[in-house]
Structure 1
Amino acid sequence: MRKRPLGNTGMEVSEVAFGGVEIGMPYGIGVESTSDMLSEAEAVALLRAALDAGINFFDTARMYGISENLMGKAFAGRRAEVVLASKCWHFRDASGQLPPDGQLQDFIHTSLHESLTALQTDYLDVFMLHQADREILENETIAAVFQELKKAGTIRATGASTYTVAETEQALDAGTWDVIQLPFNLLDQRQGVLFARAQRQDVGLVVRSVLLKGLLSDRGQNLHPALQQVEKHIADYQELLDADCPDLPTLATKFGLSQPEVAAVLVGIDRPEYLRQALATADGKYLGTLHLERARQQAYPDPAFLNLPHWDRMGWLK
């Protein structure tokens, strides 16, 4: 497993980052309850197997069920070998409001303390905003608290998890965030317009949603009639497959790894076979210039439609 620099943080991370949401809570298409998930012992063994195989970058969050606890158990005694990224509790309450500025510091410190306890460590390598919308990114108190934590050494780097191009651009404008985690995949390539700028600013980019919750796999078949055009578009990627990219998940992951500005691609791993596939995919043989350009030209023409939470609310993902 090769490693890449994570922006200007001084850390080098494996090209594949282990996405920890799937081991911590029911998540993704076809996963309805904990009965569809690994047991605690199986999840801990999977995390250790990933580390032994060369993956050193692990992503989790306070909101990911028992994910942090599992990583704490898996990496006890091996903390120096891993780069741990976790995310703060969501700031917004049920009515969508942010806590008053006077409460924000306590909120962030409490979330971080809970993460450190669960992860059995006294520092985080990357501490991130979870769902960093524009109002959150504009909040000077939030930014100041994160900077204070970095100065104190409780965290090594600050980060923001964004969803839209405007949010990512605002995070770059702020100059506060060392790492940005963002969605980017074959279907939705909108964030790619900011990759070169992030590289110029030495911001570490971590790409998530490379498989779009499994749509860019065999799960992207027999979809709801409302998603007929999406399913047809996914089927068209078959023409991009070759000996180095024999299946769609491999193509989708290598597409992310073929972006030179990207430090790591976040892959949801909740089965030993998914770990094996991720390791085989990150082989250093990525898309050539022509292959990459063809893939870039086959982004979905209406990326705004690719709103999976909306699809879920509409019952299209059942």
Structure 2
Amino acid sequence: MKRNRLGTSDLMVGEIGLGCMSLGTDEAKALSIVHEALDRGVNFLDTADLYDEGRNEELVGKAIAGRRGDVIVATKVGNRRVPGAEGWTWDPSKAYIRSAVKDSLRRLGTDYIDLYQLHGGTIDDPIDETIEAFEELRREGVIRYYGISSIRPNVVREYARRSNIVSVMNQYSILDRRAEEEILPLLQEREIGVIARGPLAGGALAEAKTPTKGAMDYSLEELLDLRERLRAMSSDTRGAMSHLAVRYSLAHPAVATAIPGASSLEQLRSNLAAASVPPLTPQELERIRGFSKVNRYAAHR
């Protein structure tokens, strides 16, 4: 699988990684998906302490046991669970980040994290304090690099300007093109790598799943029409519509890796088949952009 440098780091990530949120809690099933991903050339795994209340990190840790040196592990922090209470609270404080990383290390069964990401963020956060926490962890060798996972333009701009982030995880697909006009160009200019999540738009662009409702700015009728156009494009040279969708997310030069999720081996194999498909041509990109919508961020300006 082709590998790309993640921003200015020395992390060389496979162009298709694995978003681990969809693995579920069945240990045997989750481990089989991760093991097959690694065997097929995936080297970038993205998890978070929030997923399944930490169980996801534990499963990833078990899956990479004995193979740690071959895997780039990314996890996230900032959503704090309060014992005995429903849900979680947002806590980007230095004290919490330094405490939470210890729990993530334990669950992952490792003594370092390759990429530690702030799992959200608002413009009202103590951003300098948050950055200080990540910088301290980096100097101590607990994490190798840090980034943010955010779709808020105002937050992305602040971290791009004030910190040493090497990556931004951002929702990006044919259905969700919001990042194209203001976030991707900025990150490309600053040499900050993009991790494209949701390239299949929650399954709306997956071959095996027929939508029953609209998505993003698309009505159901518009979405079905878009799928037919993509299917017609992909049938000759790209095998499946989902391959075309993944290749679209990878086409922007700011994007280092796309991380579709998988809850079954069949989904995983279909996603990874896109690695064998040629990149989209400028003509194909222009055609897709011609019949899909240019979404724009309405909030967090």
TM-score range, shorter chain: 0.7 to 0.9
2:216 & 2:37 partners in 1: Cα distance? 34
2:267 & 2:87 partners in 1: Cα distance? 38
Check conservation: 2:175, 2:216, Cα contact below 8 A. Answer: no
> Is residue 2:247 matched to residue 1:272?
no
Question: What aligned pairs does 1:167-186 form with structure 2 within 5 A after superposition?
Answer: 167-186=155-174
Percent identical pairs in the alignment equals 28
Which segment is superposed worse, 245-254 or 57-66?
245-254
Describe the shift of the 1:227–1:82 C-alpha distance in structure 2 as closer, same or farther (beyond 3 A): closer
Quote the residue 1:190 is aligned against. 178
Check conservation: 2:177, 2:295, Cα contact below 8 A. Answer: no
1:125 & 1:228 partners in 2: Cα distance? 35
Deviation string for 1:151-186 (max 9, x for gaps)? 111101011000133332232222332211001110
Quote the residue 2:133 is aligned against. 145
Secondary structure of the 2:22 match is helix
2:155 & 2:145 partners in 1: Cα distance? 19
Structure 2 regions of 5+ residues with no counterpart? none
What is the CA distance between 1:139 and its match in structure 2? 2.0
2:163 & 2:29 partners in 1: Cα distance? 40
Secondary structure of the 1:134 match is coil
What is the CA distance between 1:265 and its match in structure 2? 0.2
> Is residue 2:6 matched to residue 1:17?
no
Deviation string for 1:210-232 (max 9, x for gaps)? 112112225352227x9995222
Quote the residue 1:310 is aligned against. none
Quote the residue 2:289 is aligned against. 296
Structure 1 regions of 5+ residues with no counterpart? 26-38, 306-318
What is the CA distance between 1:96 and its match in structure 2? 9.3
Check conservation: 2:77, 2:119, Cα contact below 8 A. Answer: yes
Describe the shift of the 1:97–1:75 C-alpha distance in structure 2 as closer, same or farther (beyond 3 A): closer
Check conservation: 1:188, 1:299, Cα contact below 8 A. Answer: no
Check conservation: 2:79, 2:89, Cα contact below 8 A. Answer: no
2:286 & 2:150 partners in 1: Cα distance? 25
Paired residue type of 1:56: N
Of the three residues 14, 37, 53, the one matched with 2:40 is 53
1:184 & 1:259 partners in 2: Cα distance? 10
Paired residue type of 1:199: Q
Quote the residue 1:199 is aligned against. 188
Deviation string for 1:107-135 (max 9, x for gaps)? 11221111110110000000000012222
Of the three residues 191, 198, 211, the one matched with 1:221 is 211
Secondary structure of the 1:132 match is coil
2:203 & 2:31 partners in 1: Cα distance? 23
> Is residue 2:107 matched to residue 1:118?
yes
> Is residue 2:67 matched to residue 1:78?
yes
Paired residue type of 1:295: I
Of the three residues 164, 172, 175, the one matched with 2:152 is 164
| Structure 1 segments (4+ residues) deviating >6 Å | 92-97
2:115 & 2:247 partners in 1: Cα distance? 24
Check conservation: 2:178, 2:297, Cα contact below 8 A. Answer: no
> Is residue 2:205 matched to residue 1:212?
no
Secondary structure of the 2:129 match is helix
Quote the residue 1:2 is aligned against. 2
Which segment is superposed worse, 239-248 or 7-16?
239-248
- Normalising by structure 2, report the TM-score: 0.87
Of the three residues 77, 82, 97, the one matched with 1:108 is 97
Secondary structure of the 2:260 match is strand
What is the CA distance between 1:252 and its match in structure 2? 1.2
Q: How big is the alpha-carbon RMSD for the aligned residues of Structure 1 and Structure 2?
A: 2.6
Check conservation: 2:242, 2:271, Cα contact below 8 A. Answer: no
What is the CA distance between 1:73 and its match in structure 2? 0.6
- Normalising by structure 1, report the TM-score: 0.82
Secondary structure of the 1:122 match is coil
Quote the residue 1:261 is aligned against. 254
2:112 & 2:119 partners in 1: Cα distance? 18
What is the CA distance between 1:3 and its match in structure 2? 0.6
2:10 & 2:248 partners in 1: Cα distance? 25
* Pairs aligned (count): 287
Of the three residues 225, 233, 243, the one matched with 2:222 is 233
